[in-house]
Structure 1
């Protein structure tokens, strides 16, 4: 393994992940879904992958995808969290903020 490759792997492992709240919206139906993620940079790919496979656990979101397709849905970050010392504090804050945005946006939780 080359030094550059080792350095790249080390840098990848040490990168900071950004936790936060995200929103998926369907313009055609007006439906909105809100969720929390420990890593906002990877969550859209995970959601879109499960929707493409037809097996997302949120049936209403999957139905909107099936009806309107990928172009019918938009994904956006709603809120980023500051770095937290512990996973427990981060997870509690994520849950609290997700519930806030669910109520604020009258959205369904994913």
Structure 2
């Protein structure tokens, strides 16, 4: 790849549209559901699974369930994608929190992080 192609590829990657939204983590054996918002839904599952595999996830209940049942018992489900093109960073954060609260109440779920 020549320098110009590389620069274009890097520029395209930096300018890509990142999916913002709310997701659920489900534990099949127990039926438990955890919900959280994310500024990058596409990368969120990898991040979660890594922290759970290494035993470093901040939610002790989720980590305990993961340790007891293993990775194959869990699923990652994007619940809602948020169109945030016209929002400021603060507006985006507020909207994510609002939609997260909606899904926590709707599913009777626990908060996944924080």
TM-score range, shorter chain: over 0.9
Give structure 1 stretches of 5+ with no counterpart.
none
Structure 2 residue matching 1:29: 3-state secondary structure: coil
Give structure 2 stretches of 5+ with no counterpart.
none
Matches within 5 A, 1:67-78: 67-78=68-79
Deviations 1:5-57 (A, max 9, x none): 11110000001111100000001011000000011111111110100110100
| Aligned equivalents of 1:47, 1:63: Cα separation in 2 | 14
Q: CA deviation at 1:4?
A: 1.4
Q: Aligned residue for 1:46? A: 47
State the TM-score, normalizing by the size of structure 2: 0.93
Q: How many matched pairs?
A: 110
State the TM-score, normalizing by the size of structure 1: 0.96
Structure 1 runs (4+) greater than 6 angstroms displaced: none
CA RMSD, 1 decimal: 1.0
